[in-house]
Chain A
Amino acid sequence: QKEVEQNSGPLSVPEGAIASLNCTYSDRVSQSFFWYRQYSGKSPELIMSIYSNGDKEDGRFTAQLNKASQYVSLLIRDSQPSDSATYLCAVSLFSGGYNKLIFGAGTRLAVHP
């Protein structure tokens, strides 16, 4: 089992809709969770971080965390074509004496007009 799993997609949504991106992780003691956006050929850009159960909202983005289910999600409201990108879920895992980030392979989102 991979430590961080995401559906590779593509997830296709119409403009204006809500895009829901999901991520599961295997380490129950993980404490920090991040969502990165990566446009094709570009570097990952941190867009959301979440550390406690529940929802965290930032503009059109909402991150949701459920540690009991080992599940973190990202909702994008009023999706725009400019949101089309690959979204990487990252989970902090204590291993080898330090907190390292484990990345999922990413979900490709396509927002069509």
Chain B
Amino acid sequence: SLELTQPSAVSVSPGQTARITCSGDALLNLYTYWYQQKPGQAPILLIYKDVQRPSGIPERFSGSTSGTTATLTISGVRAEDEADYYCQLADSSGIYVFGTGTTVSVL
């Protein structure tokens, strides 16, 4: 099934590393995409095809996958990284699904 599960919240101190997981059986064979959404703003694309970073996205954002779990890692977290993060996939028929979303709090 096309369900993606994320932790509802992650807390991290400035300068530390935040890891956000996205789990789902479909991730075994499909690419994962990651988006960041700050309050009152539209989402922005952070990672595409599991590990690729669009131009303009800081290097501290990285993606990885292992089996049925994808992970977004934010290294050296900054206060400005406080936001909601969503994973997303598209199946072979063109149906998209978003993960449940994770709120990252920078303490």
Chain B binds chain A: no
By a beta-carbon cutoff of 8 Å, the part of chain A in contact with chain B is: none
